[in-house]
Amino acid sequence: MNTSLAAVAAAMTISASALAPGTVRAADGDPASTTATSRSQAAEDFRWGAASAAYQVEGAPSADGKGRSVWDHYLDDRSLAGPGVSGAVAINFYDRAQYLQDIALMKRLGINSYRFSISWPRILPDGQGPVNPAAIAHYRQFIADLKAADIQPMLTLYHWDMPLALAEAGGWENRDSIAWFKRYAEVVFANFSDQVDLYVLVNEPLVEFGMKHLAEQRMAGEPGVFAIVPDGPQLTRALTTFNHVMLASAAAKASFDAQGRQGRLGVALPLFPVLNAEGATPDDQASAALADGVMNRWFLDAIYNGRYPEDVVAAARDKGADTTSWAADARTIGEAGFDYLGINFYSALYIRRPAQAPSGYAVEMFTPEGVYTALNGPVRPDQFKALFDRIRTDYGNPTIFVTENGAGFPNEDTLIDGAVVDTRRCRYILDHVSAMQAAIRDGSDVQGYHVWSSHDNLEWLFGYGSRFGMIHVDFDTQVRTPKRSAEVYGRLIRGEAVTAADCE
């Protein structure tokens, strides 16, 4: 199904010079929609960026009084990513001498926005105790260095690095986590609101839960299966976690507003259009609808409608969940009034009902034979466009920032003669930018786009074997090499016309 999409993409030229995120042009150079040829004010304000997360890049696990996170425990204490695989160095991004070189490299590419996270256990080493002034000073310097390079910060408060003491107290499954996060957020706002105007409160609660469950399986001596959509036995835990994460985000937003602070706050959700394969049975279709409810509607319905989807609530009740507070909780989330929606999009997911599944909620992810896939799932830029359309029509067309979009492909990131020609990643980016442009022409209010990720880095429990960056990192020497995708993305940002052929 993607071969036709690739053919369309190959016949297109993309330019960032007209409309906020660019204009799609036909191969002969005629614009497909608007005739604008110079940067508009909207284009100047559009945030073209890249993204990272603290634990995946920083290293320096005890520098400046940092406390321990659950990830220090997973990798250093329990070796859950394999023997010797650790975040102790990562890409050495906590070191200012190193990150200044990286900022200079991103500036040369034309990136004007950098989405990064700060580490909760650096700011509050035990999660709730005294503020660590050395960490505050470090991140203030980092933000100042970004802005000196004309790169705007997009600060993520929480990208999975739960302080270990709080993880041991139950983490997000403990309703006290709402107060824990609110206090942490207030510290962040008090110390960075003079530097930052765009915040991501939390990142990907759905995928974080799946990663946590995989860690639990490995700690129990099992190889484990990474499942983005929770299975039946995990449904109640997952929904309880998601409810607390969103309530914590709402509490942080209410505190920010009560203090009269200036800025925009949102959450970054991993949204997955759900597909059935050809020949799907009614049971497969019902499972796909419930999977959509858990992964997508659970969050979007609460944020924009102030309620949780009844089909998912009913499935949770069937599993024994105590849902008595959920209606009021969803109203609280809806009343928060988040300023934008952060979308992390990688792929659509094919869902079916597992064979021999018991009655009730049961879902299974799979990839049909012959579907073109990246390391992170089927490559479907058409579903990226469909996602924008759905949010515009079903949820009131909120402001959107694409907070993550990217891909990794097997055997593509090899350094040969000083270069990395990552053709498939490069084409993936161009195809998805094209889909985003089409959505904007149809009226979607998209104000920024961030590639995941800026650099190759530590991929959580999967270690260093899978690369997603536009900048190649030699993990032994820390030498950086921009890949072909970085070069082409930079040309796109600068307003040059680029085609899929430029990715070769």
The residues, any chain, with a CB within 8 Å of residue 367's CB and separated by 6 or more, are 350, 373, 377, 378
- The dihedral built from the CA positions of residue 88, 90, 92 and 94, taken in this order, carries a sign that is negative
Structure token pair of residue 353: 């009902």
* Residue 232 vs residues 158, 228, 269, 287, 440: alpha-carbon distances, Å: 27, 13, 22, 11, 37
CB 344 within 8 A of CB 271: yes
**Phi/psi zone of residue 22: left (φ > 0), alpha (ψ -120 to 50 degrees), beta?**
left
Structure token pair of residue 304: 């924009």
Question: What is the secondary structure of 386-407 as a DSSP string?
Answer: HHHHHHHHHS----EEEEEE--
Distance (Å, whole) CA 504 – CA 500 = 8
| Sheet (strand 274-275) strand order | 274-275, 349-352, 364-366
Candidate list 58, 204, 208, 459, residue with the active-site label: 204
Distance (Å, whole) CA 52 – CA 203 = 11
Candidate list 58, 208, 404, 487, residue with the active-site label: 404
* Residue 275 vs residues 111, 359, 383: alpha-carbon distances, Å: 34, 21, 10
Q: Which helix or strand (DSSP H or E) is residue 159 part of?
A: none
Collapsing DSSP to helix, strand or coil, 12 comes out as: strand
- At 201, give phi and psi (nearest 5°): -75, -50
Q: What is the largest CA-CA distance in the chain?
A: 62
Is position 404 annotated as part of the catalytic site?
yes
Question: What is the secondary structure of 408-454 as a DSSP string?
Answer: --TT----BTTB---HHHHHHHHHHHHHHHHHHHTT--EEEEEEE-S
Altogether, the residues listed in the chain come to a count of 504
CB 228 within 8 A of CB 185: no
Collapsing DSSP to helix, strand or coil, 117 comes out as: strand
Structure token pair of residue 415: 């350094």
Instruction: Determine the Cα angle at 329 with ends 265 and 214, to 5°.
Output: 75
Q: Which helix or strand (DSSP H or E) is residue 9 part of?
A: helix 2-10
**How many whole angstroms from its chain centre is CA 499?**
26
- The dihedral built from the CA positions of residue 336, 341, 344 and 346, taken in this order, carries a sign that is positive
Q: What residues are annotated to the active site? A: 204, 404
